[in-house]
Structure 1
Amino acid sequence: MKTFNVPVIYRSPLISAIKNQRKQQDRMKKDFTPTELDFGPIKIKLARHFGFCYGVENAIEIAFKTVDENPDKRIFLLSEMIHNPHVNNDLLDRGVQFIMDTAGHQLVPWESLQADDIVIIPAFGTTLETERKLASLGIEPLKYNTTCPFVERVWNKADQIGKKNYTVIVHGKPKHEETRATFSHSQAGTPTVVVKDIKEAALLAEFITGQRAPEEFNDLFKGQYSPGFNPSTDLQRVGVVNQTTMLATETQAIADYIRQVMVTHFQLTEATAGERFADTRDTLCYATNDNQTAVTGMLLEPADLAIVVGGYNSSNTSHLVELCEEKLPTYFISSPEKMLSANAIDHWDFHHSQEIKSQEFLPDQPTVTILLTSGASCPDALVEGVIRRLLSFYQLEHKADEMALID
């Protein structure tokens, strides 16, 4: 796989050494057990896969290269480059301006842009409407495009099934930048509706089967369907794609559920199911799959707690937290500094969208075992920082350079 020129401030020699060793031992990525770092009173078990993915490194390389090569131009990002505050703040410090926030609210008026300004499309991609707006201002919309190739793969899949007269069901968070972009590209060619979870998928199924009146659709899926969407005619043939960072098991459950509804309602067989349900396969990116599977493997190990590092508005990171929370006390932090002491930690409660403080997060016992992972937009340098911060609570920070890796 291609390697990228990512700023050294995001790299960690320590984490790179660990990842390289695991790669040598497991070239086919079949071993999802964590790497154990044994420091005596504290043991840290690192997930097999975590941190920057292909799409994130690609976006970072393009963005920083663009800044370096255009010192005399105004440079804008449509919105956050990725969902990591450290990377976004570094770009802001370099003079880059964000045109919109993550919810799509305007921060820089369109009319203030000039034809010779540089506008970078973030890794999530953007809507066709925004592309047209940039073009109308004389700005080539795709010249500085960092859209993740795996996001574009979803768009291509939606386009393929749309041309075969299937309606596209997008499993995603309706307000997320990537889902908004995927929805825009899909609805340009075929009726499209977004479902955020299995509950909404079940609700949509009631329109497929006729259990709900079509008149109810507009209110129940407000803001989540394409113009002119008609539940009576547009749910006869469907296919499911997804925001690339969703929980893999939920996407699969939604696809399986909708497929079974179509089979049952239209009295299909396994051989004829394709007449009503498009086989889109899984449209999650490889990193989402690997990171989630690595967390599943990590959770098979005995431990006292889990720490997940990443941006608080990062979808892929929140799903790693969700997996960990099913088994262990879990702390979602954006940086090492959130661990205030061995007794206090500030961490994100994504269920209620607020940062909370917990006391005595490290158990008072002779040996503590911690599971550690990070999201796909989190620099490895932050993971190393978390390790060093944890070790400092045991006066063992010097051990970070002398780690013993135990397979």
Structure 2
Amino acid sequence: MKTFNVPVIYRSPLITAIKNKRKQQDRMKKDFTPTVLDFGPLKILLARHFGFCYGVENAIEIAFRTVDENPDKRIFLLSEMIHNPHVNNDLLSRGVRFLMDTSGKQLVPWEELQPDDIVIVPAFGTTLEIEKHLESLGIEPLKYNTTCPFVERVWNKAEQIGEKNYTVIVHGKPKHEETRATFSHSQSNTATLVVKDMKEAIVLGEFITGKRPAAAFAETFAGQFSNGFDVERDLQRVGVVNQTTMLATETQAIADYIKNVMVEKYGLTEETIGERFADTRDTLCYATNDNQTAVTGMLQEPADLAVVVGGYNSSNTSHLVELCEEKLPTYFVSDPAQLESASSIHHYDFHHKQELHSNTFLPAKDQVTILLTSGASCPDALVEGVIRRLLSFYQLEHLADEIVI
């Protein structure tokens, strides 16, 4: 796989050595057991896969290269480059400005843009409507395009099934930049609908079977369906794609549920299912899949708690937190400094969108075992920082430089 020129401040010699060793031992990625870092009173189980993915490194390389090569130009990002505050703040410190926030609220009026300005498309991609608007301002919309190839793969899949007259159902968060972009590209080819979770998928199933009246659809899925969507016409043939950072098990469950609804309504068999349900297979990116599977493997080991590092608005990171929460006390942090002491930690409750402070962090026992992972937009340097921070609570920070993998 291609390697990227990512700023050294995001790298970690320690984490790089660990990852390279595991890669040599398991080139086919079949071993999802964690790496064990045993420091005596502290044992850290580090997930098999975590940190920057292909799409993130690609976006960072393009963005920083663009800044370096255009010192005399105004440079804008449509919104956050990725969902990590450290990377975004580094870009802001270098003079880059965001045109919108993550919800799409305008921060810089379109009227302020000039034809010689540079506008970078973030890793999530953007909508066709925004591309056309940039063109109307004299700006080439995709000249500085960092859209993740795996996001574009979803667009291509949606286009392929749309051309075969299937309606596209997108499993994603309706307000997320990537889902908005996928919805825009898909609806240009076919009827498109967004469902955010299994609860909404079940409701959709009731519209498909007629258990709910078609007249209630517009209110139930307000803002989540394409213009001219007709319940009776557009739910006869469907296929499911997803926001690439969703929980893999949930996407599969939603696809299976919708498939079964179509089978029951139309009396389909394995030979005829394709008449009503498109085989989209998995449209999750490899990193989302690997990171989630690595967490599942890590959770097979006995531990006292889990720490997940990443941006608070990072979808893929929040799903790692979800998986850990099912088994253990879990602390979601964005920076090593949030680990104040062995007893004090600031962490994020993404369910209620609020930061919490806990005075009971590390248990008092002879050996504490911690599961540690990070999201796909989190620099490895932050993971190393967390390891060092944890070691400092036991006066063992010097051991970070002596690890032999």
Q: When the two structures are superposed, what TM-score results if normalisation uses the length of structure 1?
A: 0.99
Structure 2 spans left out of the alignment, 5+ residues = none
Q: Give secondary structure in 1 for the equivalent of 2:348.
A: strand
The answer for the alignment partner of 2:393 in structure 1 is 393
CA apart distance, 1:232 = 1.0
Between the aligned partners of 1:142 and 1:209, the Cα distance in structure 2 is: 42
Measured after TM superposition, the shift of residue 278 of structure 1 is 0.1
The count of corresponding residues between Structure 1 and Structure 2 is 405
Name the counterpart of 2:24.
24
Deviations 1:129-178 (A, max 9, x none): 00000000000000000000000000000000000000000000000000
Q: Is the 8 A contact 1:38 1:404 kept in 2?
A: no
In 2, distance between residues paired with 1:214 and 1:122? 37
Cα offsets for 1:331-378 (capped at 9, x unmatched): 000010011111110000011000001112100111100000000000
Residue 311 (structure 1) shift: 0.1
Question: What is the CA deviation profile of residues 63-106 of structure 1, one whole-angstrom value per residue up to 9, with x for unaligned ones?
Answer: 00000000000000000000000000000000000000000000
Partner residue, 2:249: 249
**CA offsets, 1:104-124, max 9 Å, x none?**
000000000000000000000
TM-score norm. by structure 2 comes to: 1.00
Structure 1: tracts of 5 or more residues without a match: none
In structure 1, what is the equivalent of residue 5 of structure 2? Answer: 5
Residue 365 of structure 1 pairs with residue 365 of structure 2: yes
Distance, in Å, in 2 between the alignment partners of 1:41 and 1:404 is: 17
Q: Secondary structure at the match of 1:317?
A: helix
RMSD over aligned CA atoms reads 0.4
Q: How far apart, in 2, do the equivalents of 1:28 and 1:400 lie?
A: 28
Q: How does 1:4-403 map to 2 (within 5 A)?
A: 4-403=4-403
- Deviation track 1:304-325 (CA, whole Å, cap 9, x = no partner) reads 0000000000000000000000
Deviations 1:218-254 (A, max 9, x none): 1100000001111111000000000000000000000
Alignment partners' CA distance in 2, 1:81 and 1:279: 32
Moved more, 351-360 or 113-122: 351-360
Three-state SS of the structure 2 residue aligned to 1:400 is helix
Runs of 4 or more, structure 1, over 3 Å off, are: none
2:325 maps to amino acid: E
Letter in 1 for 2:32: F
Counterpart CA distance in 2 for 1:114 and 1:384 is: 42
Give deviations 1:31-70, integer Å, cap 9, x for gaps.
0000000100000000000000000000000000000000
Distance 1:358 1:323 in 2: 20
Distance in 2 (CA, whole Å) between partners of 1:355 and 1:226 is 36
1:181-229 Cα offsets, whole Å, 9 max, x none, are: 0000000110000000001000001110000111100110000000111
What is the one-letter code of the residue matched to 2:254?
I
- SS of equivalent to 1:240: strand
Distance in 2 separating the partners of 1:400 and 1:75:
39
Secondary structure, aligned partner of 2:399: helix
The one-letter code of the counterpart of 1:377 is S
Alpha-carbon separation, structure 2, partners of 1:198 and 1:254: 6
- SS of 1:104 mapped into structure 2: coil
Q: Deviations over 1:247-304 (max 9, x none)?
A: 0000000000000100110011111000000000000000000000000000000100
In 1: Cα distance, 2:295 partner to 2:369 partner:
15
SS at match of 1:63: helix
| Percent identity over paired residues | 81
Structure 1 position 404, deviation (Å): 3.9
SS at match of 2:234: coil
